[in-house]
Amino acid sequence: MKIIMLGAPGAGKGTQAKLIAEKYNIPHISTGDIFRANIKEGTKLGKEAKQYMDKGQLVPDELTVRILLDRVSKDDCKNGYVLDGFPRTIPQAEVLDTEVAKLGEKIDFAIDVDVPDENIIHRMSGRRSCPGCGKTYHIVHVPPKKEGICDDCGKELVLRDDDKPETVKNRLDVYHKQTQPLIDYYSKQNILRTVDGTQDMNDVFTAITALLEA
């Protein structure tokens, strides 16, 4: 089962992708995680990606496609995978379809986690990250035991640049312009499924599994 997760940044598609991966025993592949790992390791690719991410811009197709295709060619992807954060543009989607078709395969589902912009801005500006271990919190929904301090390693939590309201709004503008067309793209292929992302996390997951198993 090859699944693509769609939805604006902060819609919760990453959380749902992890739950799907766990339930169906397939890898969760997040371009964001791959980029962050490269940034942390200070690789050439990481430095390139960071320049775009810090401004709330999308990492260019060429960089993203290279790293993604290498990942899905690994043995653990033979039974499928959940793509989170890719494709983000029509050209990326077309490249993915072409490469998957070369293997005699196809994408089975594109799941759109739909959440209004104002909900996302409120949700993301409350996120806090630990610069030490990378654990994330939310000041309302998942607060640390001690305010502003990571439960696991005791470091002071930070509001990441890409979670600041002005950056989030920029990211949403970019999303609507470049990524929203994918909804039409996958709708025409009859593989698009939409869920209401404003519900409780577990209800969203229940809705997704019902669609996957329909």
- Residues that are catalytic: 13, 88, 127, 160, 171
Residues near 61 by beta carbon (within 8 Å), at least 6 away in sequence: 89, 91, 92, 95
Contact call for residues 127 and 157 (beta carbons, < 8 A): no
Contact call for residues 81 and 5 (beta carbons, < 8 A): no
DSSP 164: S
Burial (Cβ within 10 Å: 0-12, 13-18, ≥19) of residue 100: middle
40: enclosing H helix or E strand? helix 31-41
